[in-house]
Amino acid sequence: MELRQIKYFLKAKELLNFTEAAKILNISQSTLSQQIKQLENELNVPLFNRIGKRIILTEAGEMFSEYALQSLNKANEGLLLLKDLNNINTGKITIGVIYSMRILFVEALIKFAEQYPNIKIQVVFGTTKDLLEKLNTHHFDFVLTFHEKAKHPYLKYQTLLTSNMVLVTAKKSWLANKRSISLKEVAKLPLALPFSGYSTIQFFVDSFNQKNLNPNICMEINDIPTLFEIVKTGHWHTILSKTSVNDPNVVGIPIEGKNMRRTIMIISLKEAYEKKAVKKFCELLKGIGE
C-alpha cells in the first residue's frame, strides 16, 4: 500500500467522480483507476461500487477512509516535523476563527505576517460548530472560539481570555448611557441576533431559558457587520461579546449576572504535530489577549 494510492482514494471519495479526481490530481483517469484497483486488490475488498460512470463508496470504503485520512495526515505531519527541525521558514498554517474574534485576531495576524512573511496563512471565519467539525477532519491547525462545554480528550485547549457579554445598541439610543442592564430588561427589547448556528445565540437562549424569559428576537442574521448596520438604526439591539464591538456608532452595555462572561480558547488536535509557526502565532494571540 502506497501513500499515493491513499491520496488518490481520498480524492475520489471526496468527489465521487474518477474523472474530476484525476483532473485535480493532475494524472490520467486510467492511472487513477488502476491505482485504486491495485489498492482494492491488496485489501481484497471493493472500496467503490461502479455504476456506469458513477461511483459510490462501499461500506468497506467508508470504514477504510477514516484510517486512510489518519495515515496521510501522519505522513504529512512527519514531513512538517523534519522541515521544522531544519528551520525551514516556509509553509502554511490554516486557522479557523469565530466572527466575534475578528478584531483581536486581525491584530495578531498583521504582526505575524510582518514577522514571518514567508509563511502562507489561510483564515476561515465561521461558527463554532462548523469550525470544530472541520478541525476534527484536520482542516485547521487550530481554531479560535468560545468554549465553556465539556472538554474532549482528543483536543488541546488553551485559554486565551474571557470576555463580557454586552447589549449592543446605537449611540443615539435611549439606552446608550446605561452602565449595565439586566437579562430581564434585554428580553423585552427588539433583538437582532447572530444566526442560530452561532454559539453566542445558543448561549443566550440557554440563559433566557434558565430565567424563564421569552426574548423578543425579531431577526437572526449570519453576518456581524450587517448586525451592526441594523443596530445603528436605533430600532433594534443585539448581543455580542465585548471583543467584537469596535464601531464608533454603537456602544456595548454590560449584561448583569455572574454567568455573563465567556471563555475564548485556542483549540487544536492533541495528537497532531504543532508547527513552529503555529506556536509563534498562538504566542502572539496570548500577548494581545493579556
Least reliable range by pLDDT among 8-22, 72-86, 245-259: 72-86
pLDDT band, residue 290 (cuts 50/70/90): low
pLDDT tops 90 at residue 136:
no
What is the rounded CA–CA span in Å between residue 71 and residue 77?
Answer: 10
Same domain, 105 and 126: yes
Cβ atoms of residues 138 and 108 within 8 Å: no
- The tens digit of pLDDT for each residue in 113-129 reads 998 888 889 999 988 88
- The tens digit of pLDDT for each residue in 242-255 reads 888 888 899 999 99
pLDDT tops 80 at residue 148:
no
Rounded to an integer, the average pLDDT of 236-245 is 87
What is the rounded CA–CA span in Å between residue 83 and residue 87?
Answer: 6
pLDDT band, residue 229 (cuts 50/70/90): very high
Same domain, 12 and 39: yes
Residue 220 burial by Cβ neighbours in a 10 Å radius (0-12, 13-18, 19+): middle
Same domain, 244 and 166: yes
| pLDDT of 123 | 95
pLDDT tops 80 at residue 172:
yes
DSSP letters along 32-88, please? Answer: HHHHHHHHHHHHTS-SEEEETTEEEE-HHHHHHHHHHHHHHHHHHHHHHHHHHHTT-
What is the rounded CA–CA span in Å between residue 241 and residue 200?
Answer: 8
pLDDT tops 60 at residue 197:
no
Q: What is the CATH number of the domain that holds 220?
A: 3.40.190.290
| Selection from 93, 97, 95 nearest residue 125 by Cα | 97
pLDDT tops 80 at residue 40:
yes
Same domain, 166 and 249: yes
Same domain, 219 and 275: no
Same domain, 17 and 49: yes
- The tens digit of pLDDT for each residue in 91-105 reads 789 999 988 788 889
Cell of 191: 433583538
**Domain final position from 51, 84, 117:** 84
Higher pLDDT, 61 or 180: 180
Same domain, 212 and 98: no
**Radius of gyration from C-alpha coordinates of the chain:** 24
Domains held by the chain: number: 3
Same domain, 110 and 124: yes
The range of the structural domain enclosing residue 189 comes to: 162-261
> In the chain, what is the straight-line distance between the N-terminal and C-terminal CA atoms, in Å?
49
Q: What is the CATH number of the domain that holds 52?
A: 1.10.10.10
| Cα–chain center distance at 99 | 9
What is the rounded CA–CA span in Å between residue 250 and residue 168?
Answer: 7
Q: What is the percent of the chain with per-residue pLDDT over 90, rounded to a whole number?
A: 29
For the chain, the average pLDDT equals 86
Higher pLDDT, 143 or 17: 143
pLDDT tops 90 at residue 235:
yes
Beta strand residue intervals within 74-181, DSSP E: 91-98, 119-126, 142-146, 155-170
Cell of 122: 489561510
